[in-house]
Amino acid sequence: MKALVTGARGQLGSALIAGAPSGWSVVALDHATLDLADAGAVRERVRAEAPDLVLNAAAYTAVDKAESEEVRANAINGEAVAAMVSALAETSGRLVHVSTDFVFDGMSPRAYRPGDPRAPISAYGRSKAAGEAALRDVDLLVRTAWVYTAGGANFVRTMLRLMRERDEVRVVADQIGSPTWAPGLARTIWALVAADASGIFHQSDAGVASWYDFAVAIQEEALAIGLITREVPVRPIATAEFPTPASRPAFSLLDCSATRALLGDGYTHWRVNLRRMLEEEKALG
């Protein structure tokens, strides 16, 4: 079986490649080998490779920059997905597309279920919603949130840097969701593929957190293993105190019960996976 993985150098793409099951050959594509802003090039590359599966882990993820670059964000997050689907329809392949909690408005009184209507409140969210809308019934959509991994560009590593450099760290406390460790997410995606799943599934680590909660845990766990050597105050602030060009959903917890029911796997809390990531980060030196 042949899989084409886009975003091969990204946090999730790298984890998908590293976790590919036996029996799968993987073609790894990154921005240097395929420009996702060029829908024609995307369509032709997928046709030429004729994979059984495309795992689309690539995306335009500069949330704030997308407010002024919505055309480019939509080209990468929306039009490229439509091009993949068009090519796969010709070659009888399937698409596994990774999306985001940003397709929701954050106003739900409960965790978002896979079938809940999309209502994005940012250019980035609209571009990701466009990609979702291009999928067929045979394709697999996996929504996730707050992704991080050792060595990547993410919130955890940013916090570690700031905790080393500053005497105080201020973090938003009124945006709620759940962090997701990329290697765990990759395992879930491959498990869904093995189960021949199609349609919409959600996956994040178990538990609930604000960005402030996440930052506090990062400091506690990093101190415990000597990854940082001093404790600094972590101050909770409101979103209004940290204005950004793009609006963020205030509540974007994803209901992952259908995913866990199908796979029959355990409920790994985000803090457990945070410890794993920090141990890996320490090993990187």
Closest CA to 190 of 6, 17, 11, 10: 17
* Main-chain phi, psi angles of 239, to 5 degrees: -55, -35
Judge whether 124 counts as a catalytic residue.
yes
- CA distances in angstroms from 92 to 47, 51, 199, listed in the order given: 10, 9, 17
Length in residues, the chain: 285
Cα 242 to Cα 156: distance, rounded to the nearest angstrom:
18
Residue 147 makes CB contacts below 8 A (sequence gap 6+) with 11, 12, 154, 179, 180, 181, 182, 185
Residue 96 bridge partners (DSSP): 55, 140
Tokens encoding 193: 């593929």
For residue 208, the cross-strand partners are none
Strand partners, 123: none
Within the chain, strands assigned E span 2-6, 25-29, 53-56, 94-100, 140-144, 147-148, 169-172, 176-177, 180-181, 199-202, 209-210, 234-237
Catalytic entry in 124, 148, 212, 267: 124
Residues noted as catalytic: 124
